[in-house]
Amino acid sequence: MMKKITALLLTAMICCLAWTAGAETVRVPKAYETILNLARKGMAGDRDVLEQEEFNPAIYMDSHYGNRNVGWTLLDLDRNGTEELLIGRSAWQPEKDILWIFDIWTIKGDQAQLFARGWEQNRMYLTKESGNSYGLYFEGADSTFESIFEHGLIRDGRLTGREAIIAFTDMNTDTVSWTLNEAEIDEERAEEMIGKWKSAICQVDMMTLE
């Protein structure tokens, strides 16, 4: 048994897993139980839940139409002693899939508070940063002509140091212009930064939400 636990801990450290698959019991704060129950009802197509702002419709769309598993885990993202609740995709072959996260919730007082949200056109991924810290990478599109890439660091309950790269395609000239925080940037530099952000994406191991 000890060998199994040791192996799991080593795997978690190496692969940046946010959940230990061998864990049998998990203490879930009451505030998070409310959010998880909301997600369960939304996945089942509860009309009242689908209309609530607290529920991310991407959870329903992905589980209902995409026929994919939705999962969850707890992880202290900013090392302040409070674990955040992550809800995202759960795959049959996680070693082959980088799974995006729908919602990240934290606790303020005794209430769950939404920290960050992703959706189909703004996918959110957890990144592993220096100093055993975390960040978030977003990739999406505002329109057919505009792609957005954004990265920030999770510090003290906030997403800091946010950098946003936008690629705009001019359909008349078939050219692409790039900006970094609204300042012009060349394509090579933009792709270099985006590549660095993507390389930091961290696999999150989640328990299936049932």
pLDDT in tens, 95-110: 666 678 999 999 999 9
pLDDT tens digit sequence for 17-47:
333 344 447 789 999 999 999 999 999 999 9
pLDDT tens digit sequence for 108-129:
999 999 999 998 788 999 999 9
Can you tell me which residue has the tokens 């864990």? 23
45 is written with which tokens? 């197509």
Cα angle: 205, vertex 27, 61; to 5 degrees: 45
The CB-side HSE value for 46 (13 A sphere, CA atoms) comes to 13
The pTM for the full model equals 0.82
**Backbone φ, ψ for residue 199 (5° rounding):** -70, -20
**Backbone φ, ψ for residue 173 (5° rounding):** -110, -5
143 touches 156 (CB < 8 A)? no
Can you tell me which residue has the tokens 């899939």? 97
The CB-side HSE value for 24 (13 A sphere, CA atoms) comes to 1
**Domain limits, the chain:** 23-208
Residue 140 has pLDDT above 80, yes or no: yes
- d(Cα 192, Cα 47) in Å, to the nearest integer? 44
Q: What is the pLDDT of residue 14?
A: 36
17 touches 23 (CB < 8 A)? no
Q: DSSP code of 30?
A: H
Residues found in the chain:
210
Residue 146, CA distances (Å) to 92, 177, 179, 194 in order: 32, 10, 11, 15
